[in-house]
């Protein structure tokens, strides 16, 4: 009896804590929605009527914010699992957001990484997110992703990592493409992947033409084919837009941010030689 009462009290406490953090999140979301610039969606006709994986440039924090606030359809966004756990936020946030800052200012960002931890836990555990793990729990990430797709949601993924690909995007990891194999096994349907370019300085998000997973081909070939298509499509979308500053994946000094026309200008210079 005593044990059962203690267990029940813990459950009530957890439920109250969850309701409190959800309430805090709703307030924060309203504030951010009010102060963050409205973002227009272009190329929405390229979003399939059926659930799809939407793959975009991270654009630092802008990608997840825009996905949560302004995505034009039901969606969930992949989120790094460590950003959902209080004791893991500081190390992950510093490494991912601020490790490229000048050495003399890193001490400040280490402090900031601890200060934002409670806020990050509230936000990422209450937003429309799917926790991404890079260990044995990755299958849980895939399983939840397929479930969200089956519920009729698009799933947004920002797969850039530290290796630079060009002046628009960093190189994409490719294991997320394996979701299509699991989705096909569950539903018999071939999943589509939609390229997305986020341009915060233009206050726009642009959807490109989708590419469909082919279940009959070896998964290694599909990873390469789809990954290359997505990076190329996002680059082409960006380069076709009016001149603007690209907000890169890495949090580098703003003076080093590239221009979307860098490739075009370089090609013109080479042609004029």
Residues 74 and 185 in one domain: yes
Residues 74 and 209 in one domain: yes
How many domains, the chain? 2
pLDDT tens digits for the chain (273 residues)? Answer: 554 544 444 444 455 556 778 899 999 999 999 999 999 999 999 999 999 999 999 999 999 999 999 999 999 999 998 999 999 999 988 888 888 778 888 899 899 999 999 999 999 999 999 999 888 788 899 999 999 999 999 999 999 998 999 999 999 999 999 999 999 999 999 999 999 999 999 999 999 999 999 999 999 999 999 999 999 999 999 999 999 999 999 988 889 999 998 755 444 444 444
Distances (CA, A) of 141 to 5, 74, 115, 259, 262: 34, 19, 27, 35, 37
> Model's pTM, two decimal places?
0.87
Q: Is the dihedral of CA 213, 218, 221, 227 positive or negative?
A: positive
Helix (H) / strand (E) element for 26: namely helix 2-35
Tokens in use for 19?
A: 């309701």
> Across the chain, which distance is largest between two alpha carbons, in Å?
86
Tokens in use for 42?
A: 């272009």
| Domain annotation covers residue 101 | no
Give the total residue count for the chain: 273
Residues 177 and 232 in one domain: yes
Residues 212 and 238 in one domain: yes
Residues 132 and 28 in one domain: no
Residues 24 and 138 in one domain: no
Residues 212 and 235 in one domain: yes
101-158 pLDDT tens trace: 788 888 998 999 999 999 999 999 999 999 998 887 888 999 999 999 999 999 999 9
Residue that the structure tokens 């610039």 belong to:
37
Range of the domain at 4: 1-35
The three-class DSSP label of residue 157 is strand
| Domain annotation covers residue 105 | no
| Domain annotation covers residue 103 | no
Distances (CA, A) of 12 to 6, 8, 22, 84: 10, 6, 15, 21
């Amino acid at each position: 009896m005593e044990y059962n009462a203690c267990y029940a009290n813990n459950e009530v406490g957890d439920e109250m804590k969850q309701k409190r953090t959800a309430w805090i999140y709703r307030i924060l979301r309203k504030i951010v929605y009010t102060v963050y610039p409205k973002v227009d969606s272009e190329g929405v006709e390229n979003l399939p009527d059926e659930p799809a994986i939407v793959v975009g440039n991270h654009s630092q924090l802008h990608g997840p914010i825009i996905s949560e606030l302004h995505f034009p359809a039901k969606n969930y966004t992949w989120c790094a699992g460590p950003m959902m756990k209080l004791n893991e936020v500081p190390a992950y946030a510093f490494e991912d957001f601020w490790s490229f800052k000048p050495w003399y200012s890193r001490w400040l960002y280490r402090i900031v990484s601890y200060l934002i931890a409670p806020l990050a836990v509230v936000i990422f555990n209450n937003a429309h997110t799917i926790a991404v793990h890079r260990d044995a729990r990755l299958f849980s990430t895939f399983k939840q992703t397929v479930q969200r797709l089956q519920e009729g949601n698009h799933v947004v993924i920002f797969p850039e990592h530290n290796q630079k690909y060009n002046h628009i995007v960093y190189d994409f990891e490719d294991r997320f493409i394996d979701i299509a194999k699991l989705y096909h096994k569950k539903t018999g349907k071939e999943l589509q992947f939609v390229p997305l370019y986020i341009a915060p300085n233009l206050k726009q998000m642009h959807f490109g033409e989708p590419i469909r997973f082919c279940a009959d081909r070896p998964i290694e070939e599909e990873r390469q084919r789809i990954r290359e298509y997505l990076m190329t499509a996002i680059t082409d979308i960006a380069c076709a837009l009016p001149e603007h500053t690209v907000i890169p994946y890495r949090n580098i000094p703003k003076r080093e941010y590239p221009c979307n026309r860098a490739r075009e200008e370089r090609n013109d210079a080479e042609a004029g030689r």
